[in-house]
Every structure is written in C-alpha cells, then in structure tokens.
Amino acid sequence: MMSRGDGFLAALTEAVDEFAREREWAPFHSPKNLSMALAVEAAELMEHFQWLRQQQSEALSPEKKDAVAQELADVLIYVVRLASRLDIDLEAAAWDKLEINRQKYPVEKARGTARKYDEL
C-alpha cells in the first residue's frame, strides 16, 4: 500500500503513540485489547443516537454534538493506535478501500439505493 502523504494521520499517529509511550501502556495495547476498546467506544457513540428518530439524530443540541465529537475522537484515536500497533498504513488502507468500494458500488447502479453490492 502506498501512502498519500505525511499529514494529519501521520501527526496524529505520532501523538497517540507518544501519549501511550509516556504512560508505558504498550503491554496493555495489544491488537486484541485495542480492537475491544474500539468496539466499546463505538457503542458509546451509538448510545447518543439510541432511540432518536432520524430527524432528531440530524439536529443535535450543541451539548449533544460535543459529546458525540468526544466519542468520535475516542474511536479515531483507537483506530489510529490499532493501525500503528499492527504497522498498517491507515491512510493507504483507507484510499485502497475507497477504490474497492468504488468498484463494488458503481454510481450507475448504487445511486439512491442502500442495497448491498451483491444485490445491485
């Protein structure tokens, strides 16, 4: 995989890794543990939307939006840390996956539908 640069994700990865190094958390940051922590944070994100109607989920109060932002940040930090621990170029992986999805969901077949690629 080829990375498209050393920008935001590279800087964030270094900051997250340094944060963990300073606290000597490497023994606790196995891929298994990080993936589980990621799932927990994703569940905490979902909790903010549980039982809301679609319209409500699109019109969050400033306080709720801030809480959602904090959960999104937690999810991103765990994704970045997990990729770092597995030596995965996350930026390259995301670009590669976007290209795969472009092929699985061609515009002419996928526009306006939520059907899965194998149902198009």
For residue 120, being part of any structural domain is answered with no
* pLDDT above 50 for 2: no
Distance, CA of 19 to CA of 3 (rounded, Å): 23
Residue with tokens 């994704």: 79
pLDDT in tens, 77-89: 999 999 999 999 9
CA 75 to mean position of chain CA atoms: 6
pLDDT above 90 covers what percent of the chain? 89
pLDDT at 6: 72
Confidence of residue 42 (pLDDT cuts 50, 70, 90): very high
Domain span at residue 15 reads: 8-110
Site of tokens 């515009």: 107
- Other beta carbons within 10 angstroms of residue 3's beta carbon come to 14
Is 84 a domain residue? yes
What CATH number should be reported for the domain holding residue 106? 1.10.287.1080
Quick one: average pLDDT of 91-118?
Answer: 93
Domains: count for the chain: 1
Among 80, 78, 96, 95, residue whose Cα is nearest residue 10: 80
